[in-house]
Every structure is written in structure tokens, then in C-alpha cells.
């Protein structure tokens, strides 16, 4: 039996067949960027004595469906443009390594969007129809992040767009649909979360820098260069944790929120695991650890707000 380079990549990434093909297509390590903002926004609303559990569940599912669909659009359009090959790391590999038809991936993304629209209708009925406008904008940006003539992900603005819309906007919506209002406190608290989400995109671009450069992309990591991009990633981590401490001092966040500093251990490991690496496979652990850093920070932030409500 002859082992191909594709087989070697699948083995190195521990990619399995069957259900695992479709699970990888969702890129589960990125779904934290959709779960955490909804959780945090809802926990802030809980501290204002307002929570509707079914609205929260609907928002959570819709957000994760949109994120999953965005990942599928990325899989489809990067394949169409020739950016992804069977040797690409960090993708689902559903098309280039598992042989799933591109149109199937595209249709599945559109189905996910359709389900999220139905959930959005329920959320609007329970809150305000202006949410439909904001939700539509988020969905369009999810598509144009990798689709369209000039994908946002191919520009230096990818981190800003993903951080702002998936962090600040989603937290704001999650709070608004529970309370019917929006406060400056919500916006301030959303900033560190937005930074961590932007860090996920930056770490992804650091890993893919060489391939993206060959494809003619102009990501932030390419403009900075890998060493400076890694330093910038570290500065973003410091900024996010620093803002959290500042918010506790100013009373924007409760004292319990200092437990989020536990995530700093992982953030340090992320930077160290990127340093000196040049091959995508070598940088995969650091990239996935960035997502875990966001998960732990956001989860602990939400738990600190939940604790503050009960105590």
C-alpha cells in the first residue's frame, strides 16, 4: 500500500473518517468564538435581573450555526480560489482530503443560515425587530469574510471585523434581547472578549502566513512579518488581561473576575509555542491553544458574573 502525502497529513492531524469528517468541517476549535460572547452577554443581563432562558438558547444556537456556516463558506471559497490544497493545515479538509463535493459544503452552509434565520425570527418576536437588521448584517459579513470578490479575511482588517462583530456586537445583542436596553458597561466588558477573538484569527494567519502570501493575500500577519505578528499577539493578550484588571479596579467587573487571569498561563504558552516555528503543522498546537485561551477566559468571566449574581 502506497502512502500519499495526503495520507501523511491526515495521519499527522489525526483526521478520521465517518462522522469526524463533518465534525471537522465545523472547525469546533473556533466555535468558542460564538459561544463565549452569548454566554458573557447573558450573564451581564442576569446581573441586571433579566434573563429569558429560551431566548438565550435560541441566540446561542443561532450564533454557533452562523459561525459554523462561516467556516463552511471559508472551506468552499478557499477551495474554489485554489488557496486550500490537500496539504493545507487548519482547515476541515472535507473537500480537498475527504472528497466531499464543494457544492455539498456550500448547501450545508446555506441550510445552517436558514435555520439561524428561523431562530432569529423567534428572538425578534421576543425582543425587537431591529435585531433582524443587525443579525442580517452579521450574516452578510460572515459570508463576505471569505466570499465575494475581496474577502475580508484576505485583508489586514480580518482581526478587527471578527473581533468587533463576533465579540462586541454579539455580546451587545445577547444583552439587549434579555433587557431591551444597552449600557456602556456592556461595551467595556466586550472589549477584552473581542480582543481574544481577534487573537484567534491572528494566530490562524500567523500559521498560514506562507501559504497566504503565495495566494496574494495581505493579512495583518503578512504585513507585520511572523516575528512581529507573534509579538503583537502577545501584546494583545497583555492588553486584554490588563483591561480586565482595570475593570475590576473601576468596579465595572466584580472582584470575582480576577479568576480570568488563570487563562494567562495558556496565553504565555501560545506565544512560546509560536516562537521559532515556521511550518504550519508545528504551529497547530499554538493556534488551537489560542482558542482554548479564549474559551477559558470567557468561561471564567461568565462564571464570575454568575457568582456575583448569587453572592
- Domain ranges in the chain are 16-295
pLDDT at 3 over 50: no
pLDDT band at 281; cut points 50, 70, 90:
confident
pTM of the model: 0.90
Least confident range from 53-67, 148-162, 227-241: namely 148-162
DSSP letters spanning the chain: -PPPHHHHHHHHTT--STHHHHHHHT-GGGTHHHHHHHHHHHHHHHHTT---HHHHHHHHHHHHHHHHHHHHHHHHHHHHTT---TT-SSS--TTTTT---HHHHHHHHHHHHHHHHHHHHHHHHHS-THHHHHHHHHHHHHHHTTSSSS-GGGSTTHHHHHHIIIIIIHHHHHHHHHHS---HHHHHHHHHHHHHHHHHHHHHHHHTHHHHHHTT---HHHHH-HHHHHHHHHHHHHHHHHHHHHHHHHTSS-GGGGGGGGGHHHHHHHHHHHTT--SHHHHHHHHHHHHHHHHHHHHHHHHHHHHHHH-
The pLDDT value recorded for residue 123 is 96
The pLDDT value recorded for residue 25 is 82
Encode pLDDT of 72-121 as tens digits.
888 888 888 877 766 666 666 788 887 889 999 999 999 999 999 999 99
> Does residue 13 register a pLDDT over 80?
no
CATH of 16-295, one of 2.60.120, 1.10.357, 1.10.600, 3.30.980: 1.10.600
pLDDT tens figures, 203-254? 999 999 998 898 888 999 999 999 999 999 999 999 999 999 999 999 999 9
Amino acid at each position: 500500500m502506497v502512502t500519499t502525502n495526503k495520507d501523511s497529513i491526515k495521519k499527522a492531524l489525526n483526521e478520521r473518517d465517518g462522522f469526524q469528517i463533518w465534525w471537522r468541517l465545523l472547525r469546533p476549535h473556533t466555535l468558542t468564538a460564538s459561544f463565549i460572547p452569548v454566554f458573557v452577554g447573558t450573564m451581564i443581563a442576569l446581573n441586571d435581573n433579566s434573563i429569558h432562558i429560551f431566548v438565550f438558547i435560541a441566540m446561542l444556537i443561532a450564533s454557533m450555526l452562523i459561525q459554523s456556516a462561516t467556516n463552511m463558506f471559508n472551506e468552499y471559497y478557499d477551495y474554489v480560489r485554489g488557496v486550500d490544497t490537500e496539504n493545507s493545515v487548519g482547515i476541515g479538509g472535507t473537500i480537498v482530503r475527504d472528497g466531499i463535493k464543494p457544492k455539498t459544503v456550500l448547501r450545508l452552509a446555506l441550510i445552517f443560515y436558514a435555520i439561524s434565520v428561523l431562530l432569529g425570527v423567534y428572538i425578534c418576536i421576543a425582543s425587537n425587530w431591529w435585531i433582524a437588521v443587525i443579525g442580517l448584517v452579521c450574516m452578510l459579513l460572515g459570508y463576505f469574510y471569505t466570499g465575494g470578490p475581496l474577502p475580508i479575511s484576505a485583508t489586514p482588517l480580518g482581526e478587527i471585523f471578527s473581533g468587533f462583530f463576533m465579540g462586541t456586537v454579539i455580546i451587545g445583542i445577547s444583552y439587549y434581547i434579555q433587557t431591551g436596553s444597552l449600557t456602556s458597561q456592556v461595551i467595556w466588558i466586550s472589549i477584552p472578549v473581542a480582543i481574544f477573538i481577534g487573537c484567534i484569527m491572528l494566530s490562524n494567519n500567523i500559521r498560514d502566513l506562507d501559504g497566504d502570501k503565495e495566494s496574494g493575500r495581505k493579512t495583518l500577519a503578512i504585513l507585520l512579518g511572523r516575528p512581529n505578528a507573534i509579538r503583537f499577539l502577545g501584546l494583545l493578550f497583555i492588553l486584554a488581561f490588563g483591561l480586565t484588571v482595570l475593570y475590576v479596579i473601576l468596579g465595572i467587573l466584580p472582584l470575582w473576575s480576577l479568576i480570568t487571569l488563570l487563562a494567562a498561563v495558556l496565553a504565555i504558552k501560545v506565544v512560546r509555542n509560536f516562537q521559532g516555528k515556521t511550518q504550519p503543522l508545528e504551529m497547530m498546537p499554538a493556534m488551537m491553544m489560542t482558542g482554548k485561551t479564549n474559551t477559558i477566559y470567557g468561561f471564567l468571566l461568565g462564571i464570575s458574573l454568575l457568582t456575583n449574581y448569587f453572592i
